[in-house]
Amino acid sequence: MTDAYKSLEARFRRINVLSDIGGMLHWDMAAMMPNGGANARSEQLATLDVMANELITAPDMGDLIEAAGGENLDAWQKANLAEMKRNWVHGTAVPSDLVEKMSLAATSCEVAWRGARADNDFAGLLPKLQTVLDLSIEAGKAKAEALGTSVYDALLDQYDPMMRSDRIDSLFAELESFLPSFTAEVIERQKSEAAPISPTGPFPVSVQNKVGLDLMQAVGFDFEHGRLDISHHPFCGGIPDDVRITTRYDENDFTSAIMGVLHETGHAMYERGLPGTWRNQPVGKARGMTLHESQSLLVEMQASRSEEFLTYAGPVFKAAFGGDDAAWNAGNLHRLYTRVEPGLIRVDADEVTYPAHVILRYRLERALIEGDMKLADLPGAWNEMMGKLLGITPPDDRDGCLQDIHWPSGAWGYFPTYTLGAMAAAQIFAAAKKAKPEIPAALSRGDFSPLMGWLGENIHGKASSKSTDEILIEATGQPLGVSAFKAHMENRYGG
């Protein structure tokens, strides 16, 4: 190992630690911090971001990367160096003063979003959101020049390295070639079938919390290295050795919270499964948000809505909430959790209509980033596209364009990874069951260990040592595509 490479490892370790501190502060801001702490927290996070940026943009960083590239490194070290260079290109494209402005604006806007959504006040949020958008475009332009991409693709690259909008357009077009008619057929057929029995509440928050904790443990969550809390928007944060997940509760509907917990636990298992040897290096990070979302959706949608898992979960729910035995029957729960009906809220959507929610956001954020739409026109454009894609119109902005935290927090370019992740989840789960035929039977006992063992070896443990497609090809035999997702849809929802 060369002096140049050793120096880079030391520097990126420090950069990563600063990022970890920011991650913990972000979790606290969402789950614990009183609103009065927002200004101080904005300054804290901005200071950390500037410190990290100054480290990565040090004048000799490029020379160190070039020198290390000419030395004898093993495969993981080479992959680490490639990730260092990618981070360096992103980092040097944006000046420190813009990094600070973006951090301050995003933190301020995220806190303001909480009140704006509760008050259904898009107009009140608009000035702060406009600032976040303008700064994101400014940063995107700088990164686009460095990467040789469009502005939108430069922002997308932050969340899904090497993914480009032309490929997304192709994948989404393939989805749209069958999903609308398929969705209509499923809805029509389900209308002719006996409706599933809905368990009756109320479902006390304390009991929902206990059930969520029990299911997290079944999946394999290590409570010595993480915890569950409440926030306005469910998320997985923290760091790999201290994973913080959140959910939100409704005493009239336990499903949203429980499935939210399972979704975020999938994220947490990915983080915990990253190789400890490379914990503070770029190569030790999760590969990108397509694979990250694949892990959450695999747990929530592929595994936890399977009839096998519901055979286990039904008695758990019955013991916790009581009520009609027939409602907690695995077959009834499966019909309930595979019920297809267009809804307003993305995080509560069934997996058949979910892609439409993502396609809507993808098209709108691209239009905003590319200057084809004014931010002030977002509510009307949102409602119009909801009508076209899902046949429903939000009664207000609270359940329309204000429902997600992503844009207020500055996460422009993130949304398409949800549906890309759903495609990858179907592909990965099919491959896992083929390699480990005992997985379905294990799920019926509430045992995720065969599935998690396979994922640990084939997905989690690979971290960022390879590209998304390379990881998928090795694990499933194919690059990211639509065919496995379509087969899953037809198998679970087809007549």
User: What is the per-residue pLDDT for 343?
Assistant: 96
Name the strand (E) or helix (H) holding 271. helix 254-273
> Does residue 127 have a cis peptide bond before it, meaning omega lies within 30 degrees of 0?
no
User: What is the per-residue pLDDT for 495?
Assistant: 67
- CB of 448 within 8 A of CB of 303? yes
Q: Report phi then psi at 237, rounded to 5.
A: -135, -155
Angle at Cα 49 formed by Cα 26 and Cα 266, nearest 5°? 40
Query: Rounded distance, CA 175 to CA 185, Å?
Result: 15
Angle at Cα 212 formed by Cα 211 and Cα 216, nearest 5°? 120
**CA nearest to 329, candidates 344, 348, 315, 319:** 315
**Identity at 318, one-letter amino acid code:** K
Helices (H) and strands (E) in the chain, counts: 21, 3
Enumerate residues 6+ apart whose C-beta is below 8 A from 145. Answer: 93
Measure Cα distances from 493 to 114, 326, 338, 339, 351 in Å: 36, 22, 7, 9, 10
| Three-state SS at 414 | coil
- Which candidate in 83, 264, 300, 351 is catalytic? 264
pTM of the model: 0.95
Our answer to whether residue 365 is catalytic in this structure is: no
Query: Rounded distance, CA 7 to CA 10, Å?
Result: 5
- CB of 130 within 8 A of CB of 375? yes
Query: Rounded distance, CA 88 to CA 407, Å?
Result: 25
| Three-state SS at 227 | strand
User: What is the per-residue pLDDT for 450?
Assistant: 98
* pLDDT tens for the chain, residues 1 to 495: 579 999 999 999 999 999 999 999 999 999 999 989 999 999 999 999 999 999 999 999 999 999 999 889 999 999 999 999 999 999 999 999 999 999 999 999 999 999 999 999 999 999 999 999 999 999 999 999 999 999 999 999 999 999 999 999 999 999 999 999 999 999 999 999 999 999 998 999 999 999 999 999 999 999 999 999 999 889 999 999 999 999 999 999 999 999 999 999 999 999 999 999 999 999 999 999 999 999 999 999 999 999 999 999 999 999 999 988 899 999 999 999 999 999 999 988 999 999 999 999 999 999 999 999 999 999 999 999 999 999 999 999 999 999 999 999 999 999 999 999 999 999 999 999 999 999 999 999 999 999 999 999 999 999 999 999 999 999 999 999 999 999 999 999 986
Sign of CA dihedral 156, 158, 162, 163: negative
Query: Rounded distance, CA 270 to CA 249, Å?
Result: 24
- CB of 292 within 8 A of CB of 163? no
Sign of CA dihedral 305, 333, 196, 255: negative
User: What is the per-residue pLDDT for 70?
Assistant: 87
**Identity at 112, one-letter amino acid code:** A
Query: Rounded distance, CA 83 to CA 134, Å?
Result: 28
User: What is the per-residue pLDDT for 98?
Assistant: 97
